């Protein structure tokens, strides 16, 4: 096993960002990849013009890559926001307005994974009320995902970089997964296991994998420290991904790392070109 046994997808919201959005799918294809994922690309607009949605859809289709993951609207990413769905007032309203737009866009490209970032704690808001609002909106998102045959992903971030985000451990995120599934009865909420964020939180990654692989709907990687490509930090990413496979995870692995001081196309030297489209399964 090893990297060559994985099916990778390139996150176009952190890689190839030196290019305009509509040029990134083709750049990923040129680098040898067949699948891409995205944070919600329109950070100020949960409901972009249909022409913008159509242009991005065409760029993805023309590049010959698959969209395998998409975030719901989450505010300014990268930036200080870490989601909108638990933020009272305008931000949670913007999230709700985005749910059907994002689900419809995902469905049009056969994307079957939608990620809903939980949202920061905010001054003056009762955490219990934020959690109740989050569950209400996650139920809405889970039902929209179910209508298109998709899973709803719940992600843990890391406390050093996201100090106001409440889900900063695997158990916290999995607990929300369980509450959403109990509320909907759909069983389509899953854990997004981002090994970089979990490492930054100091978690025992082999133990997390052994305990939660069965409820994991997607995996993302970057090396730590630094959030760079595999091999730039100290995480044994190849061993961890092998452990995930042995634990039963057979989904894709998102490359969500920073390219460093070089063009993104040069940030894949750790992975032979013939392995970039992944194992055939």
Q: How does pLDDT run across 251-277, given as a tens digit for each residue?
A: 999 999 999 999 999 999 999 998 898
Q: Is the pLDDT of residue 279 over 80?
A: no
Average pLDDT over residues 235-263: 97
User: Sorting pLDDT into bands at 50, 70 and 90, what band is 79?
Assistant: confident
Q: Is the pLDDT of residue 281 over 80?
A: no
- Residue 100 falls in the annotated catalytic set: no
- Residue 155 falls in the annotated catalytic set: yes
Q: Is the pLDDT of residue 280 over 50?
A: no
Look up the pTM and report it.
Answer: 0.97
User: Sorting pLDDT into bands at 50, 70 and 90, what band is 213?
Assistant: very high
Task: Report the pLDDT value the prediction gives residue 20, as an integer from 0 to 100.
Answer: 98
Domains of the chain in start order, with CATH, are: 3-272 (3.20.20.150)
**Choosing from 37, 91, 203, 256, which is the catalytic residue?**
256
Task: Report the pLDDT value the prediction gives residue 92, as an integer from 0 to 100.
Answer: 97
Q: How does pLDDT run across 214-224, given as a tens digit for each residue?
A: 999 999 999 99
Task: Report the pLDDT value the prediction gives residue 54, as an integer from 0 to 100.
Answer: 98
Average pLDDT over residues 123-139: 98
In whole angstroms, give the CA distance from residue 174 to residue 132. Answer: 16
Beta-strand relationship, 189-194 and 253-255: unpaired
Provide the percentage of residues in the chain whose pLDDT is more than 70. 99
Average of per-residue pLDDT values in the chain: 96
């Amino acid at each position: 096993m090893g990297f060559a046994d994985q099916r990778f997808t390139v996150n176009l919201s952190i890689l190839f960002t030196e290019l305009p959005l509509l040029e990134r799918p083709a750049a990923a294809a040129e680098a040898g990849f067949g699948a891409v994922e995205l944070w919600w690309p329109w950070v100020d607009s949960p409901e972009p013009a249909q022409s913008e949605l159509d242009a991005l859809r065409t760029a993805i289709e023309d590049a010959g890559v698959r969209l395998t993951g998409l975030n719901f609207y989450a505010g300014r990413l990268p930036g200080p926001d870490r989601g909108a769905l638990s933020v009272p007032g305008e931000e949670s309203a913007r999230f709700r307005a985005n749910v059907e737009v994002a689900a419809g866009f995902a469905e049009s490209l056969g994307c079957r994974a939608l990620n809903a970032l939980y949202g920061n704690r905010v001054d003056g808001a009762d955490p219990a009320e934020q959690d109740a609002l989050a569950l209400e909106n996650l139920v809405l998102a889970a039902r929209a995902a179910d209508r298109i045959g998709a899973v709803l992903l719940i992600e843990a971030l890391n406390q050093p970089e996201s100090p106001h985000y409440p889900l900063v451990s695997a158990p916290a995120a999995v607990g929300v997964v369980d509450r959403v599934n109990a509320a909907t009865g759909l069983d389509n909420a899953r854990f997004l296991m981002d090994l970089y964020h979990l490492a930054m939180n100091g978690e025992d990654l082999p133990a997390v994998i052994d305990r939660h692989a069965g409820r994991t709907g997607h995996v993302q990687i970057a090396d730590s420290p630094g959030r760079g490509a595999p091999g730039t930090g100290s995480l044994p990413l190849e061993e961890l991904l092998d452990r995930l496979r042995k634990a039963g995870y057979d989904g894709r692995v998102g490359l969500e790392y920073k390219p460093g001081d070089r063009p993104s196309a040069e940030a894949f030297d750790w992975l032979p070109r013939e392995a970039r489209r992944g194992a055939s399964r």
